[in-house]
């Protein structure tokens, strides 16, 4: 049951983040949109961690695991400009 609840919450937060980035890109640059949505994600994490009482256990998280997670997150940045290139327009045949 917990897995299903976490999956639903994950889908909701992904959809919210996707919509926020899309709206941010419409009115600004992708960097500006990310500058808004990333802190919102951190704030949501802290809110849930405090609400569930798990913030006290944050120190038990292995530093090596935190390093791997940070590395995976940072590895997305070099690919971001490539993924945001517009698709080439093909001339009619």
pLDDT in tens, 37-80: 778 878 888 888 899 888 898 889 899 998 998 888 778 777 66
Tell me the C-alpha distance between 82 and 88, whole Å.
Answer: 13
Tell me the C-alpha distance between 15 and 77, whole Å.
Answer: 20
69 lies in some domain: no
Tell me the C-alpha distance between 69 and 63, whole Å.
Answer: 10
Domain that holds residue 21: 14-56
93 lies in some domain: no
25 lies in some domain: yes
33 lies in some domain: yes
Number of domains in the chain: 1
CB 37 within 8 A of CB 21: yes
79 lies in some domain: no
User: pTM higher than 0.75, yes or no?
Assistant: no
pLDDT given at position 88: 67
């Amino acid at each position: 049951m917990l897995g299903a609840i976490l999956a639903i919450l994950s889908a909701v937060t992904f959809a919210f983040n996707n919509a926020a980035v899309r709206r941010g890109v419409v009115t600004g640059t992708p960097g500006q949109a990310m500058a808004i949505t990333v802190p919102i994600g951190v704030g949501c994490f802290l809110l849930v961690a405090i609400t569930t009482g798990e913030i006290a256990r944050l120190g038990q998280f292995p530093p090596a695991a935190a390093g791997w997670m940070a590395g995976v997150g940072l590895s997305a940045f070099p690919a971001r400009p490539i993924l945001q290139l517009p698709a080439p327009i093909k001339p009619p045949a």
